[in-house]
Each structure stands twice: as structure tokens, then as C-alpha cells.
Amino acid sequence: MSKIGQPERTTQNRVVKLFRDQLGYDYLGDLHDENNSNLKLELLTYWLTQQEIYQPATTATTTTTILINRALHDFAKTVTDTSKSLYDRNYAVYNALRYGIKVKPDASENTVTIWLIDWKNPQNNHFAIAEEVTVKGANPKANTKRPDVVIYVNGIALGILELKRAKVSVSEGIRQNLDNQTKDFIEPFFSTMQLVMAGNDSEGLRYGSINTSEPYYLKWTEGADSHDLDLHLSQLCEKNRFLELIHDFTVFDAGTKKLCRHNQYFGVKAAQASIVKREGGIIWHTQGSGKSLTMVWLAKWIRENRTGARVLIITDRTELDQQIETIFGGVNETIYRTKNGADLIDTLNGTTENLICSLVHKFSNKLNGEEPEDGEGAKELIQLLSKLPANFKAKGDLHVFVDECHRTQSGDMHKAMKAILPNAIFVGFTGTPLLKSDKKRSVEVFGGYIHTYKFDQAILDKHQSQWREHRKLLNNTLL
């Protein structure tokens, strides 16, 4: 057993016990005497041999073993490709994990996808932890590093945890994670990492991803606010949740890898449940709490899980329309930004684009995308109903996100949009302090709140600070 301080040892022993007894992870041992890798090929190989791997009709020489070996070879090259930056390598690894490894049994045969993680059946995967995982530094003059706890799924290191005693700030653990990711130390070990965590018994757990700077480490809040390290770990690292956060709530955003905040996770989950019931509603998340990425994660889930789904995002300002295009493009989601009203109608009438953004004013009779004077939008939209192409019918299962819904969705405007898109599910998004009259109208139009994240909770979570500037508005606002 390695020599660490008694307070840390006590905390680490308890955490290891939690993973083993409560969360059901296997224990790979104390690995301080080994030079460890982020890829335990023997565990991954064994797990793959237990899976049913689809093979097309093929020659007798093509076997499951050949497919697995080719996939492992390709994956190991991706993991160890130090010609790329840590971000690019981690991105390549993530794509291999999320979308599988494509291999050909033979040059003349069809491609087969080898899944390194069973995303559909989380309990079918092998979850394990190891402690005191010694990794040799890249610089021969640098000391080896020894992460306290490493999480392996099917032999792939996907999570790392630094623990500190209660009297040492969790910031020390965060800075230790950041130091470990430098080129002189164990940067290659992080090529597979999805959750990078630090915690102690006085502040609880903080989590981020590769290269997440200290101010952007996040705190998970589920139920009552707490500094309970064990509670946070049991919530984030429960097997289903752990894989779900990786698969459905991770983005690579123009050079920065981002994980969801708790409000984004629970907002999307609540919206998923509403959509399954074909019900719309409002997601009210205070300003600065990541509304745009909430849209990204929800839109991605809809298109991946709803047959024939299309997502249309409506804004009421040119700069917001541009912002939506930029955000989705930044996370490699191809979104079609309509040019004018006629283009919008043609796009809805066709089937080519399944992720679309548009100004609300492009629904207007002018069909040129200009922003009408106040009060004109609903009138022009109603006039448009009688002038739609004879063959017009919005194709697919439409899900309409309405940004700043309190501004754009007056009763008449919403009725007109519903007339053009009668079968669509409407989800309104807002984070602006609303007057009571706006609140009443928005609820009447959209059918109630799907999820709320209030300003006081955001301040507590330190996700944004601009609410201090808006306190004078709060006497007459909703929520």
C-alpha cells in the first residue's frame, strides 16, 4: 500500500468502498507499483469477446477475433497519437467511443461497427476502479504521477478523481489535475478521459473535463444543496448516469470540451419526458446558465431518438439567429439557416434539412425576413395562411424551439404558427425576468413549465453573476 496521509487514506478508503459496495464497480487494486496505461487491453479484449458482434456473410477465414483485433489496433492508434493536441486526440477518442469503430472483415466486404461501450445497455459494461494509479511522466526528468482513483469502463480509463483531506481546498485537487495534463507529466493518460474530478469532505465534488480551467469546474446539485462528497459521487458515477453524461451531455465546442451543468441535465431530461408524451412547455433557465447548449443537447437527442424528427429553432433577433447558427456549427451540428420567408416555407415543405433555424419574422407575408413593426407580425402571419403553396405541408415530426418565447409568442402569433405547423411540439425557452403579465401569457400559450432554474439557485451555484444587476426588477417578476 502506498504511503499517503492518514486523513486522505481514510477518505480514499471510504470512496473506494462506495464504488465497490454501493455503485457495484469491480476493484482492480492499488496500482502504485505499476506503470499504468489509460487502456487495459486485456480487459477490453475480454469484454468484446463476450459481445454479439454482427458479421455479414463472409469467408470462413473471417472471425470475430479478426474484427476485434482490427478495431483494437485502430483504437489504440487513436489513443496514443501524440502528433495531435490533447483536445484533438480526446475528440477522436470520443468519436470512436460514441459512434463505434468501423472495420472491414475483408476488402471486398461491408463495414462492421465494433462498439467499445454498450450505450444502450449500461449494465452490460464492465465498470471498475483502481487507486494510486502510477503513470510515468512524459519527461524523463519529471516525477511519475499517481491519480488517487481512476474509473475504467471495459478497460478504458474514462474518469479520474483527486481527493484531498477536508482542511485542504478542493482547488488543490483541481490544480493537480491540470498539472497532470501538461506535456511534461502525464498528458497522454488523459486522451481517453471524459470526467475529471476533484473532491474533499468539506466542499464536496467538483467536475470538469480535459483542460477545464479551475473557475469552470462544476458542482452537481440534485435535491437539497450539499457538500456531501459521497452523495455527489453516487449521483454522478452511478453506472447509467455516468455513461449518459458522456453520451448525451458532452460537446466539443470550437476548441473547448464542455460537460453539462446540473440544470441543463435535468432540463433536458424533463423535456425528453414531455416530448415522449407529445407535450410542449417552457424551459425557464436564468440568464447565463447555458440555454444554447441545452438546446443543442435536446435537439441532438430528439433527432437521434424520434423517428422522422426535425427541429426548428425560432428567434426574434438577427443576432440571435446568427448566434444559434454559430453555436450549433461550433459543436459540429449542421444547422440550416433560412434565407427568407419563401426559403423557410420551401424548407418545411421539403425533407432535406432536419435541423433548421429561422427568424420568427420569416413567417410573415412579406417573405423577406425583415423585422416588422411591433404588432405587425401576427397580422402578417395570419394573412400568410391563405397564401401558402397549394401543396404545402410541413414534413416530418416537427419540434419547434422558440427562443425568448415571452417576446415572440403572443396569443395571435402562436395561433398562426400552430396553424402552419399543426402537429408540431412547441418548447419555449427563456431566461429573462418576466413581468407577471408575460408569465401568464407564456404559460397559456405553451402549457406550463417543463423545468425551471431560478436566479437564486444560479447565484448559489455561481454559474452567473449578472443577476445582481437585475435585482431592481424582481419585485414584479415571475418565479
Rounded to 10 degrees, the C-alpha dihedral 290/99/192/156 comes to 130
DSSP secondary structure code for residue 327 in this structure: H
Cell of 330: 461550433
Q: What is the pTM of this model?
A: 0.89
CA distance 189 to 37: 7
As beta bridge partners, residue 283 has: 429, 451
- DSSP-derived secondary structure for 376-397: HHHHHHHHHHTTS-TT----SE
Q: Which helix (H) or strand (E) element contains residue 427?
A: strand 425-430
CA distance 73 to 208: 29
DSSP secondary structure code for residue 20 in this structure: I
DSSP secondary structure code for residue 477 in this structure: B
The vertex-451 CA angle with 449 and 454, nearest 5°, equals: 105
What pLDDT does 175 receive? Answer: 97
Residue type, 333: E
- 368-404 pLDDT, tens digit each: 444 444 445 556 655 666 678 878 889 999 999 998 8
What pLDDT does 386 receive? Answer: 63
Cell of 289: 446558465
Q: What is the CATH number of domain 260-476?
A: 3.40.50.300
Residue type, 456: D
Q: Are strands 127-131 and 26-30 parallel, antiparallel or unpaired?
A: parallel
Instruction: With beta carbons less than 8 A apart as the criterion, state whether 31 and 134 touch.
Output: yes
**Residue environment code for 427-462, b if the CB has 16+ CB neighbours within 10 A, otherwise e:** bbbbbbbbeeebbebbeebbeebbbbbbbebbeebe
Burial of 241 per CB tally in 10 Å (0-12, 13-18, 19+)? middle
DSSP secondary structure code for residue 287 in this structure: T
What pLDDT does 371 receive? Answer: 47
Using CA atoms, how far residue 251 sits from 138, 291, 356, 364, in Å, is: 28, 14, 19, 35
Sign of the four-CA dihedral 400, 355, 463, 189: positive
Sequence ranges of the domains in the chain: 6-248, 260-476
pLDDT in tens, the chain (479 residues): 455 678 788 999 999 999 999 999 999 999 998 889 999 999 999 999 999 876 665 544 457 888 999 999 999 999 999 999 999 999 999 999 999 999 988 777 788 999 999 999 999 999 999 999 999 988 877 778 999 999 999 999 999 999 999 999 999 999 999 999 999 999 999 999 999 999 999 999 999 999 999 999 999 999 877 889 999 999 999 999 999 999 999 999 989 999 999 999 999 999 999 999 999 999 999 888 899 999 999 999 999 999 999 999 998 888 989 999 999 999 999 999 999 888 888 999 999 999 999 987 766 544 444 444 444 555 665 566 667 887 888 999 999 999 887 665 555 667 777 878 989 999 999 887 654 555 555 555 777 899 999 877 777 776 443 333 344 334 444 33
Instruction: With beta carbons less than 8 A apart as the criterion, state whether 305 and 397 touch.
Output: no
**Residue environment code for 329-361, b if the CB has 16+ CB neighbours within 10 A, otherwise e:** ebbeeebbbbebbebbbebbeeeebbbbbbbbb
The answer for residues whose C-beta is within 8 angstroms of residue 15's C-beta and 6 or more apart is: 149, 161, 163, 229, 230, 233
What pLDDT does 171 receive? Answer: 97
Expressed in percent and rounded to 5, the helix, strand and coil fractions of the chain are 45, 20, 40
Q: Name the 3-class secondary structure at 141.
A: coil
The answer for residues whose C-beta is within 8 angstroms of residue 83's C-beta and 6 or more apart is: none
Cell of 307: 423517428
